[in-house]
Amino acid sequence: MAQHRHRTAAVTGTVLALVAALLAAIPAGAAPPPDTAPLDLTKSTAQWIDRTTVAVQEDGEPAATTTLVADPDGELAVRDGELTGTGRESVLRRIPGGLDPAQRARFPHLSAYAAYEVAPKDRVHTAEDLTGQVVLTRQKADGTLTTATGVQTHGVLDDLYASRATKATLGPVFRKGGATLSVWAPTARSVALELDGDRVPMRRDDASGVWSATGPKRWTGKPYRYAVEVFSPSARAVVTNKVTDPYSLALTADSTRSLAVDLDAKSLAPKGWRDLKKPKAVPLRNAQIQELHIRDFSATDRTAKARLRGTYLAFTDARSKGSRHLRKLAGAGTSYVHLLPAFDIATIPEHKADQKTPGCDLASYPADAEKQQECVAAGAADDAYNWGYDPFHYTVPEGSYATDPEGTRRTREFREMVKALNGDGLRVVMDVVYNHTAASGQDPKSVLDRIVPGYYHRLLADGTVATSTCCANTAPENAMMGKLVVDSLVTWARQYKIDGFRFDLMGHHPKANILAVRKALDALTPAKDGVDGKRIILYGEGWNFGEAADDARFVQATQKNMAGTGIATFSDRARDAVRGGGPFDDDPGVQGFASGLHTDPNSSKANGTPAEQKARLLHYQDLIKVGLTGNLADYTFTDSAGRRVKGSDVDYNGAPAGYAAAPGDALAYADAHDNETLFDALAFKLPRTTTPADRSRMQVLAMATAALSQGPALSQAGTDRLRSKSLDRNSYDSGDWFNALHWDCRDGNGFGRGLPPAGRDGNGFGRGLPPAADNKPKWPYAAPLLTSVRVGCAEIEATSAAYRDLLRIRTTEPAFGRRTAADVQRTLSFPLSGPDETPGVITLSADADGGRDIVVVFNATPQTQRQRIGALAGQPYALHPVQEKGGDSIVKSASYDKGSGIFTVPGRTVAVYTRSAP
């Protein structure tokens, strides 16, 4: 089975800077270089952007004649410098001045293209021409053919059909009289419905391009697919594709057929589903989120029922240690569980009998062995594991997580999972991946492109599919792909009661598309839809890269562009400052605030001289301060050099550190599924001699920088338990062995011979060298660590308890949940920031408007630190009651001297102090 490798996360500031430099070298509005093989029908360099206009790259003098040739049978070819085959010809007229302002606004990347007009007499044939092969030719005055190229048609399809098609209801619809199945296929010559062995003709609506068929109620539950006769540019022929429904609501196993299912059927609703009571909605600015992979949650949990491990229903097993831990987190203040992709996944065999397992005794090998990763990799393409960033059908739950992938059991069991999580006090976020598909063209796992070839995917200048996301990029800027995004999300919200959505690579979506999602969700009401759409939270990856970078094709849903929308983007600024360096450093030992930079240096020469380390550490502290404000662009403070700056003035690899307009625009995190876990990153960066207890303390301190920020924060599941993936930086296909969540610390390690004597206690570290495909260059750094670094149950439980204490403080103290940027500016400060601030220490002060004022000291140094805030002398501060009574014994030794205003904090400790209102 083909694998579609998911990119390692977070395009970092360093990578973005490189991308920006490359883009800067291209003149604004410049067209890409012309095709070096102009007589090439495998490419499509011309673009039919609306019914009147074709945009063409020109190199040198315009041709004497430019023509569109349309062949309904798709038999046009180039042989010996001549176009062969027959087709209807339309001579185009060159438009002086090129595209008009409206067209340039719609297609900014084509601004430098020449524009050609389709004659009025030929426009009446446009719809017909689009059902076959379309070629653009250019000839010299003597008739010599200089150009023969395919034509991109997404623009003209939108012009012809979008106004009606975007209002159509697609997929299966059930009414009292029966069922209707509808699919948008405007370029198809014919479409037939193959339903349960019968072939049913479908009727085309010419205004919308939608084909539909209506049948009796007995169609319910029947398997179906469409037979679409269409010209395929990738095949360069008219083909008949047997393809499932892009708007499928249910599927047979391994997605071979769609199922005509009514999601409103009572048989698909668990008991109590229709009147499900949800936990209180937490606004995005206060959300504390646990990111969790469905299989990771229970696949190796020996306390979970064996038949439910790795499934949706494992979340209904209230006695398992995983469920108990989620309830502990919910009780401490975690408000949402963010599930990694759970829609239909293209790369997992859905029947358990078809899923491979490693053929080795993985636990028998040494902690630094290559054998574990070799055994896992050998079966990775066909095992039960994948993160799921390879969409097949967007609006159907993944079958491998069901106890039976056939039929509608996955629908009911997904709902059972949501109901169980809600019952545990957690609302549910779903990770969605509309920016790419697992395949395109005539690939068997291609759905969209086999129905409307060349439309749903973003095409480059030569007509090939863009793959900057990792796979076949979709084009949500095209009306019907944008509609699919909105319709799919509304279905998940209405039919599965999802409480939030996290957008993978959201920067590859137009901002307008994400705002359309927000508008559609806001329209959902409890009375009409069973959910309150205004309570659904939205956030995503606002990275700026690829062919859409810097708003080249549309205004993107990137970090800077989404500010002020109420839709959050992940902030990599403080993440990198806390950890140190970036995810793609050649030397993983580059240190940061929470990994000992300057204050506890390791042996890596990449960190520079002591003076360089100090300077970088102080700059990192400024980045973290901006993060603690919620990444506000206009928040003003004194930086570590003593200058009065705004958040947007602080540099992050050439970009502004602060970009948010309000708390809630930026989402804080110290780790996520991408890149090394926080524990593994710290294993690379902390001195190898760091004790287990100190590793635990630095983990807590790193997590605190996110948890105690204004705005939402996310933590990867298990990070509070020192979760390790044995230093794997990209575990998307690394199986259960490397990805396992160890709810019981006594089951954490692989019992390898390289582990210390008491080796059962652990967190997953030392399970062998991580998979070679993404990690081999780091093996020389990894091998010595895998046999020497170790933590046990004492450190794991202490980390989790300390993190839960921080959650309780964050979610109960009003000082951390400010509504506006003005509120943050008025109440939050860094009183010791400036040229004399202590390297490795950040001190934050926050007023609470009648509640308890707060002082937080983040001491990342190994030594006890004394922080004097003279303005607070005489004020009655004390260690926060939660920490005073909490699970961290060392923080309890933190003190405050009222007379001098000195806060004394132990090394590697975050201490929160409160002052009660008079």
Closest CA to 368 of 792, 785, 776: 785
Q: What angle do CA 697, 701, 707 make, to 5 degrees?
A: 135
* Pairwise CA distance, residues 256 & 177, whole Å: 28
Question: In the structure encoding, which two tokens stand for residue 389, read together?
Answer: 């960033």
- Which residue type is seen at 53? T
* Pairwise CA distance, residues 157 & 180, whole Å: 24
Q: What are phi and psi of 106, to 5 degrees?
A: -75, -35
Q: From residue 15, give the alpha-carbon distance in Å to each of 543, 547, 585, 586.
A: 10, 15, 11, 13
Q: Whose structure tokens read 């395929």?
A: 232
Q: From residue 389, give the alpha-carbon distance in Å to each of 342, 396, 559, 673.
A: 9, 14, 21, 12
* Pairwise CA distance, residues 545 & 223, whole Å: 40
* Pairwise CA distance, residues 909 & 895, whole Å: 12
Question: In the structure encoding, which two tokens stand for residue 760, read together?
Answer: 């059962």
Question: In the structure encoding, which two tokens stand for residue 85, read together?
Answer: 């085959």
- Convert 278-293 to b/e letters by CB count within 10 Å (16 or more is b): bbebbebbbbbbbbbb
Q: Count CB-CB contacts under 10 A for residue 463.
A: 22
Q: Could you give the residue numbers annotated as active site?
A: 504, 541
- Convert 166-181 to b/e letters by CB count within 10 Å (16 or more is b): bebebbbbbeeeebbb
Rounded-to-10 torsion of CA 180, 184, 188, 189: 40
- Convert 345-370 to b/e letters by CB count within 10 Å (16 or more is b): bbbbbbeeebbeebebebeebbbbbb
Q: Cα–chain-centroid distance for residue 811? A: 25
Q: Count CB-CB contacts under 10 A for residue 406.
A: 15
Q: Is the dihedral of CA 555, 558, 561, 563 positive or negative?
A: positive
